[in-house]
């Protein structure tokens, strides 16, 4: 069990004790311990192995024993018993905005409610409003929050859907009765948010494949199982649908279940216009719906299907009826960017601000991945909650980066760290004066504390985009997928300001952001604005976001040349200088 998992168990113990109404000192001790573990600089294993856990401030004897048990055995009977003694619905209720442990306990004790459904019913018939400390207003707020939670329960961030789907696809691929298989649906199209996962398989023995699918260890429950399809819930709570077809139907089934619905509608119209019929079973010479094998136009691959309909192949990411038909009629679609084209990331954090890792570890990981450069752009001082850098600390960081680069040069290694900052866009300008920005290799300007006014946010970002020393705008809408909407901003005005100043726009590849959204890139590209696919890494595990970002960039129709961080280091340095009107880094 790693430190994060153990901290999560301790935190949950604290919460469970609160739900049981235990003494606040005791509950707080668990929450504190969870935080202390997360912040430990030494590996927990070492501390336990050397019996030094007791030296850590805030971890008393009882906690020490529990943590050691967790480290050694991966479980804790105390936690399991405690969990069994509290209805699971109470923990779920804590996921509703506005409900803390105290309120959940009161609702449970006074109304005997132990599920979200029961809570909803009690809100609707006014029983919650009648409770001490609740009232009409909080009752209607709770109803809204329940509806909100339900709306998002069946939507998942792309990264979670990929993580759930990949092992299933691998397993299917290895099954002897599977001829061809693929993901389909929104996942194959790289939508940022996924309803359910879809798989399409061709096989001569559908029954055997379906048996295998519903029996996979990743399957939590089976919703439906027919002769050619099944629906299950995977662990993690994501639904997955599987269709099994004959191999000569594979291309049309795959195209159909990849969608999007809007794209499919145009495809079907194109078929009709050619005296054909297109459906999930194939393409047929017919003027009415059919699946008559005698009328079939053989299409072994999706390429064949597109060709029959007068189109070059359209990659799945672009199948949104978002301009792909006009493009694919004339000429082959351009090669879209791939994550292996990327040579580094230009917006990342380290333990100098709110990142977890030290510069040395960051360099090591970037080199392992075969990257050529990695910019360190920690927060500026206005982001005090993220331990933002003031000029004095920034200077020290620059020295450290210089020393690391010097060592790399001495070792004959071409990899380089780039210096930089993620400078806050404030009401009256940037959080660092131009003289300081000019000393850095890479400047990312980000709006972290937006105003409620569209005009005001637009004004700030337009001004930042116009600053000669700013290379790019970071996460330009501030959205957090399934958590927080974009702030109000006139994106067209911001994109135009970037075009006018030659300022780049980030595609922030954090799975929560994927910001700027894919829908805006065609327009930005047309105006000549270049994209930078950035990890916004706060820990080494985030380096993999490059793949996610590249997928979303493909969805935005971006090619390698549109993306700044496909460049080699020497060309990148030229581009960084060219953005500043020929002046590179000063000082």
Binding residues (CB under 5 A) for Zn ion: these are 446
Residue 64 gets which letter from DSSP?
H
Per CB under 5 A, does 198 bind Ca ion? yes
Shortest distance in whole angstroms from residue 133 CB to ligand DGT: 40
Q: Write the interaction track for ligand DGT spanning residues 308-327; mark x where CB under 6 A is met and - where it is not.
A: --------------------
**Nearest of 431, 507, 441, 421 to residue 463 by alpha carbon:** 431
Candidates 190-198, 201-209, 357-365, 480-488: pick the segment binding Ca ion (CB under 5 A).
Answer: 190-198
Shortest distance in whole angstroms from residue 380 CB to Zn ion: 10
Residue 334 gets which letter from DSSP?
P
Q: What is the CA radius of gyration of the chain?
A: 27
With CB under 6 A as the contact rule, the residue among 206, 259, 476, 556 that binds ligand DGT is: 259
Per CB under 6 A, does 69 bind ligand DGT? no
**Nearest of 457, 463, 462 to residue 477 by alpha carbon:** 457
The shares of helix, strand and coil residues in the chain, as percent rounded to the nearest 5, are: 50, 15, 35
Candidates 189-197, 335-343, 495-503, 527-535: pick the segment binding ligand DGT (CB under 6 A).
Answer: 189-197
Cis peptide before 129 (omega within 30 of 0): no
Size of the site for ligand DGT (CB under 6 A): 14
Q: How far is CA 99 from the centre of its chain?
A: 26
Candidates 194-202, 369-377, 426-434, 451-459: pick the segment binding ligand DGT (CB under 6 A).
Answer: 194-202
DSSP bridge partners of 347: none
30 binds, among Ca ion, Zn ion, ligand DGT, none (CB under 5 to 8 A by kind): none
Shortest distance in whole angstroms from residue 476 CB to ligand DGT: 24
Query: What residues contact 282, with CB distance under 8 A and at least 6 apart?
Result: 248, 249, 252, 291, 296, 297, 299
Which residue spans within 457-536 are E strands per DSSP?
A: 472-473, 504-508, 531-534
Shortest distance in whole angstroms from residue 319 CB to ligand DGT: 8
With CB under 6 A as the contact rule, the residue among 30, 212, 250, 257 that binds ligand DGT is: 257
Q: Write the interaction track for Ca ion spanning residues 229-258; mark x where CB under 5 A is met and - where it is not.
A: ------------x-----------------
With CB under 6 A as the contact rule, the residue among 11, 14, 101, 185 that binds ligand DGT is: 185
Count of alpha carbons within 13 angstroms of residue 411, beta-carbon side = 10
Query: CA-to-CA distance for 422 and 380, rounded, in angstroms?
Result: 6
Per CB under 6 A, does 419 bind ligand DGT? no
Question: Which of 64, 189 has the CB closer to Ca ion?
Answer: 189
Shortest distance in whole angstroms from residue 260 CB to Zn ion: 31
As to burial, measured by CB atoms within 10 angstroms (0-12 exposed, 13-18 middle, 19+ buried), residue 60 is: exposed
Three-state DSSP at 182 gives strand
The separation between the first and the last C-alpha atoms of the chain, rounded to the nearest angstrom, is: 47
Per CB under 6 A, does 289 bind ligand DGT? no
With CB under 6 A as the contact rule, the residue among 5, 62, 88, 265 that binds ligand DGT is: 265
Shortest distance in whole angstroms from residue 422 CB to Zn ion: 5
Instruction: Give me the residue label for tokens 């948010």.
Output: 193
Shortest distance in whole angstroms from residue 220 CB to Ca ion: 17
302 binds, among Zn ion, Ca ion, ligand DGT, none (CB under 5 to 8 A by kind): none
With CB under 6 A as the contact rule, the residue among 198, 317, 341, 357 that binds ligand DGT is: 198
With CB under 5 A as the contact rule, the residue among 11, 14, 185, 316 that binds Ca ion is: 185
Question: Which of 192, 562 has the CB closer to ligand DGT?
Answer: 192
- Helices marked H in 215-311: 250-258, 261-273, 302-308
Query: What residues contact 87, with CB distance under 8 A and at least 6 apart?
Result: 108, 114, 115
With CB under 6 A as the contact rule, the residue among 15, 139, 264, 510 that binds ligand DGT is: 264
Per CB under 6 A, does 253 bind ligand DGT? no
Per CB under 5 A, does 196 bind Ca ion? yes
With CB under 6 A as the contact rule, the residue among 25, 81, 137, 261 that binds ligand DGT is: 261
446 binds, among Ca ion, Zn ion, ligand DGT, none (CB under 5 to 8 A by kind): Zn ion
Sign of torsion, CA 255 256 262 265?
positive
Q: How far is CA 446 from the centre of its chain?
A: 19
Shortest distance in whole angstroms from residue 198 CB to ligand DGT: 5
Query: CA-to-CA distance for 400 and 396, rounded, in angstroms?
Result: 6
Per CB under 6 A, does 203 bind ligand DGT? no
Query: CA-to-CA distance for 79 and 94, rounded, in angstroms?
Result: 18
Instruction: Give me the residue label for tokens 């004897």.
Output: 61
Beta strands at 193-194 and 156-157: parallel, antiparallel or unpaired: antiparallel
- The residue ranges that bind ligand DGT (CB under 6 A) are 185-186, 191, 194-196, 198, 256-257, 259-261, 264-265
- The residue ranges that bind Ca ion (CB under 5 A) are 185-186, 196, 198, 241
């Amino acid at each position: 069990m790693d430190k994060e998992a153990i901290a999560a168990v301790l935190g949950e113990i604290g919460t469970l004790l609160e739900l049981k109404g235990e003494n606040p000192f005791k509950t707080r001790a668990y929450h504190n311990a969870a935080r202390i573990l997360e912040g430990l600089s030494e590996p927990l294993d070492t501390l336990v192995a050397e019996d030094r856990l007791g030296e850590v401030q805030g971890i008393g004897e009882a906690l020490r024993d529990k943590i050691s048990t967790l480290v050694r055995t991966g479980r804790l009977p105390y936690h399991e018993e405690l969990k069994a003694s509290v209805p699971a619905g109470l923990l779920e209720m804590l996921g509703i905005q506005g409900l803390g442990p105290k309120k959940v306990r009161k609702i449970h004790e006074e109304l005997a409610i132990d599920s979200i459904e029961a809570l909803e019913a009690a809100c609707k018939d006014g029983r919650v409003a009648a409770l001490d400390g609740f009232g009409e207003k909080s009752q209607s707020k709770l109803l809204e929050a329940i509806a909100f939670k339900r709306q998002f329960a069946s939507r998942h961030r792309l990264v979670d859907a990929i993580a759930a789907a990949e092992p299933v696809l691998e397993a299917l691929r290895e099954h002897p009765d599977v001829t061809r298989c693929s993901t389909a649906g929104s996942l194959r199209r790289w939508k940022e948010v996924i309803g359910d996962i879809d798989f399409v398989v061709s096989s001569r023995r559908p029954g055997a494949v379906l048996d295998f699918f519903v029996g996979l260890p990743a399957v939590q429950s089976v919703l439906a199982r027919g002769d050619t399809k099944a629906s299950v819930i995977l662990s993690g709570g994501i639904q997955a649908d599987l269709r099994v077809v004959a191999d000569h139907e594979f291309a049309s089934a795959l195209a159909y279940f990849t969608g999007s619905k809007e794209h499919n509608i145009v495809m079907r119209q194109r078929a009709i216009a050619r005296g054909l019929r297109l459906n999930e079973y194939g393409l047929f010479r017919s003027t009415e719906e059919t699946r008559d094998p005698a009328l079939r136009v053989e299409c072994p691959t999706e390429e064949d299907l597109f060709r029959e309909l007068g189109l070059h192949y359209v990659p799945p990411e672009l199948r949104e009826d978002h301009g792909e038909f006009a493009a694919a009629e004339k000429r082959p679609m351009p090669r879209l960017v791939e994550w292996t084209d990327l040579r580094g990331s230009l917006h990342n954090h380290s333990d100098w601000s709110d990142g977890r890792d030290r510069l040395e570890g960051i360099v090591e990981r970037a080199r392992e991945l075969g990257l050529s450069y990695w910019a360190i752009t920690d927060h500026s001082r206005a982001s005090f909650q993220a331990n933002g850098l003031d000029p004095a600390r920034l200077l020290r960081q620059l020295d450290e980066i210089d020393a690391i680069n010097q060592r790399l040069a001495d070792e004959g290694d071409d990899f380089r760290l780039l210096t930089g900052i993620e400078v806050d866009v404030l009401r009256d300008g940037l959080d660092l004066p131009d003289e300081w920005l000019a000393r850095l290799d890479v400047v990312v300007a980000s709006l972290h504390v937006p105003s409620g006014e569209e005009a005001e946010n637009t004004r700030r970002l337009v001004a930042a985009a116009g600053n000669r020393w700013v290379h790019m705008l970071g996460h330009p809408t501030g959205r957090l997928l399934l958590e927080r909407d974009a702030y109000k901003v006139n994106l067209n005005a911001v994109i135009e300001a970037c075009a006018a100043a030659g300022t780049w726009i980030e595609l922030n590849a954090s799975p929560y952001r994927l910001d700027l959204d894919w829908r805006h890139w065609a327009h930005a590209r047309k105006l000549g604005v270049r994209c930078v696919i950035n990890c916004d890494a706060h820990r080494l595990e985030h380096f993999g976001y490059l793949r996610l970002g590249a997928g979303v960039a493909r969805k935005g129709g971006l090619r390698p040349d549109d993306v700044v961080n496909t460049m080699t280091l020497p060309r990148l340095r030229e581009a960084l200088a060219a953005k500043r009107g020929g002046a590179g880094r000063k000082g």
